Amino acid sequence: MASRGMEFGDEEKLAERTLFFTGYSKLPLTLTASKVYEAIVVAVTVDPDSSRITDVDCNLVTALGRNFIKGIVQGYCLEDGIEGLEREFEERYYGSARRAIVICLNNIYNRYLDYVNQKEQSEVE
């Protein structure tokens, strides 16, 4: 699905430059998903020009859960820090995996910061 304001063909150009980040966390043993997976993974793609998350996926068992997480995370700008996403999950997500998901998002944010720092260093050199 193309973002608002994109012209035909812009989505393909963005896909060629899009960044991919993942975050992992152990699941609580009480979750159904822990019977299927040992850990939860959240994966995102990020537009390097805007720092916006363009797509989201995770390995929660239910499609409803995966779609709910996507609805919160997709479109978020990582330049705004991670606190806004953490707050959204504290206020809106009451599933047992909340802590694990927030840990995954923090892992993604830290990897994004590593990318930004490396990019800035290479531009200085």
* Confidence at 76, pLDDT banded by 50, 70, 90: very high
The whole-angstrom separation of Cα 94 and Cα 64 is: 13
Q: Which pLDDT score is estimated for 3?
A: 42
Query: Does the domain at residues 18-124 carry the CATH identifier 3.90.1010.10?
Result: yes
Which residue from 106, 116, 84, 115 is spatially nearest to 24, judged by alpha carbons? 106
Grade residue 17 by pLDDT with cuts at 50, 70 and 90.
confident
Tell me, what's the pLDDT at 12? 57
